Amino acid sequence: MRKKMLKPIHYLVMLSLLLSSAFIFSNVTSVTAASIAITNPGFESDATGWTKVGSAAISTSDHHSGTRSAKSTANGGGYKQTISGLTANTSYTLKAWILGQGAIGANTFGGSEVTSGGTTSAWTQFTVNFTTGATNTSAVIFTRSTGSSDVRFDDFTLDSGTSSTPTPTPTATPTSTPTPTPPTTPTLPSDVLYLKNWKITLPIPKQSGSTSPLEVVQPALNTYSIDPWFKVVHDADGYAVQFRANHGAVSTSGSSNPRSELREMKDNYTSGDSSNQMAWGSNDGKTHTMYIKQKVTHLTQVKPQTVVGQIHDVDDDVTVFRVEGNNPGGVSTTAKIYITDGDNTHGYLLDSNYTLGTLFTVKIIVANGVISYEYNGQTVPYTQTKNVTGCFFKIGNYTQSNDSTAPGESPDAYAENWVYDYSVTHQ
């Protein structure tokens, strides 16, 4: 049987179809993610390539990788960097790791500023997506503290996505990068306060029958909570850590008064002994500051007094914030707040009628041998001149009540302080 031959017209049709297909596919833009260079993305070259904004520094004590990270030490502080050579109408994905309370973000790219962040007790990666404008070929990326505690940032990356200019043929809708799950409700004190360089002394025996108090150090402190002495609480002012100490509790060898109180330690300390305790001087060429946002919620009755923040040196307290109830022997609903000067418990009266349960802030600044103070954001017209060494900060609740100074007090009577935020810097 003779084979049928294709007519010439069939060849022409097939050739036309092939050429059409080639033309269609040649107009499909294939876009893959590309990494964009960031100068010094992990801060291993200190702050090279970055511009400091507000209170910020380079940290060598904690990092996601390498040996350094960026640290912000006050609300709004951080670093920024301008990234040039971007493409207009193009989406970009910025990622970085955060430890503490802060955010990363981008602005000046032709759209509204975008940020992503939260409060974390372990290194957590956050993601920001942004799209450059029709004529924008640069953007500013940044770190930003969103609280008053130290927060660290590390390991930035920036990747390009797809162009927003339409292509001649339909393309698949790209999947968006998932945003981080919002932080869960705080359940541990370390979820509220940065505790990396602290230890706590508690008003409970370190073991059954002991007359010495329990001390909890890192890393155990990071996952520690105990009701009612040291736990997370919450009210209309936000989340806080409750510090409670009762009159009849055990105390340290250097004092008869009980405490639930944090003591400043060196970064990345390995044990609770004296070699790991923070020690600085009032004339060491640095500025040492401590800020506390807190409220006193309860006082004992016979001697309704407590300390809610202090500087201690190698021997004794240097200066403290002392709260004294206005109704000794009864239930105090108001109190006086004093700054002490060594053994002078009434060095300066900050507030003569503080209402218990009211939020207030205090700040101590030590520089060039002079100690100055702030109360509720206002400079206090009072200073002290000191030449002291071996100093460290303390935060929490140091109840000024024991059987010798407050006879007849119930062992269960307690003082309590809620701490919402703090910051400590040595620069």
Q: Cα(211)–Cα(402) distance, rounded to whole angstroms?
A: 14
Residue range(s) in the chain whose domain bears CATH number 2.60.120.200: 189-426
pLDDT at 162: 57
- Distance of alpha carbon 248 from its chain centroid, rounded? 34
14 phi, psi to nearest 5 deg: -65, -45
Q: Cα(141)–Cα(340) distance, rounded to whole angstroms?
A: 45
Q: Cα(184)–Cα(216) distance, rounded to whole angstroms?
A: 25
Task: Say how many C-beta atoms besides its own lie within 10 A of residue 302's C-beta.
Answer: 17
Q: Cα(202)–Cα(188) distance, rounded to whole angstroms?
A: 16
pLDDT per position in the chain (427 positions), as tens? 444 444 444 444 444 444 444 443 334 333 445 799 999 999 999 999 999 887 889 998 889 999 999 998 777 789 999 999 999 999 999 999 999 989 999 988 988 888 898 888 889 999 999 999 999 999 999 999 887 778 999 999 999 975 544 444 444 444 455 555 444 689 999 989 989 899 999 999 999 989 999 999 999 999 999 999 999 999 999 999 999 999 999 999 889 999 999 999 997 788 888 788 999 999 999 999 999 999 999 999 999 999 999 999 999 999 999 999 999 999 999 999 999 999 999 999 999 999 999 999 999 999 999 999 999 999 999 999 999 999 999 999 999 999 999 999 999 999 999 999 998 989 8
Residues 6+ apart with CB under 8 A from 233: 239, 240, 241, 242, 418
- In this prediction the pTM is 0.64
pLDDT at 21: 44
One of 1.10.10.920, 3.10.129.10, 2.60.120.260, 2.140.10.10 is the CATH number of 34-161, namely 2.60.120.260
Residue range(s) in the chain whose domain bears CATH number 2.60.120.260: 34-161
Residues 6+ apart with CB under 8 A from 306: 245, 296, 299, 322, 323, 397, 398, 399, 400, 415, 417
Question: Which residues partner with 13 through β-bridges?
Answer: none
Among 258, 257, 265, CA closest to 222: 265
Task: Say how many C-beta atoms besides its own lie within 10 A of residue 186's C-beta.
Answer: 19
pLDDT tens profile 345-399: 999 999 999 999 999 999 999 999 999 999 999 999 999 999 999 999 999 999 9
- Distance of alpha carbon 245 from its chain centroid, rounded? 26
pLDDT tens profile 176-216: 555 554 446 899 999 899 898 999 999 999 999 899 999 99
pLDDT at 53: 84
171 phi, psi to nearest 5 deg: -125, 160
CA atoms within 13 A on the CB side of 121: 21
Q: What angle do CA 222, 226, 228 make, to 5 degrees?
A: 135
Phi-psi region of 192 (alpha: psi -120 to 50; beta: other; left: phi over 0): alpha
CATH of the domain spanning 189-426: 2.60.120.200
pLDDT at 18: 44
Query: For residues 167 and 28, is the Cβ–Cβ distance under 8 A?
Result: yes
